Amino acid sequence: MKKIIIAALTFIIYANAYSQVLAPVKWSYGAKKVDNSTAIIFIKATIDSGWHIYSQTVKDGGPVKTTLTFTPADGYSLLGITAEPKPITHYEKAFDMDVQYFEKSVVFQQKVKLASNQQLVKGSIQFMACNSKQCLPPDDVDFTILVK
């Protein structure tokens, strides 16, 4: 009986050690008021070494581009499009095209008009992380940012 228990425990420990989920991208959020009725939302991706995520501007037929979706609400409205810094452009044989991506970190910025002094801005991010050997399935992350 002891041998069965030891074998089971060994298997559980081994399985846990090798079944960890890869999560090479960490997201953080913030906001800065420009004036009483305008703010800038900051959405930052911190990307593990060797990994990258794709720009919002990747053309159809390529990898899954990063998409930021803001939940419509009476408390705020979007001003313009979500801005991003200049991405790295590289030809990827797998997609037979140039693709744009970010390594290490990237901050997306969205300007919003506020209906009142304090608002919750909600939304989601869809992105795909890749390294030189693999791409993870696209992931969706929800966010809520208090603007005050």
- Residue-level pLDDT at 74: 94
pTM for this predicted structure: 0.84
Where do the domains of the chain lie? 24-147
**Residue 20: predicted pLDDT:** 58
**Averaged pLDDT, groups of 10, the chain, 148 residues long:** 44 42 95 96 98 97 96 96 97 92 98 94 97 95 96
CA 54 to mean position of chain CA atoms: 9
Question: Which CATH homologous superfamily contains domain 24-147?
Answer: Thiol:disulfide interchange protein DsbD, N-terminal domain (2.60.40.1250)
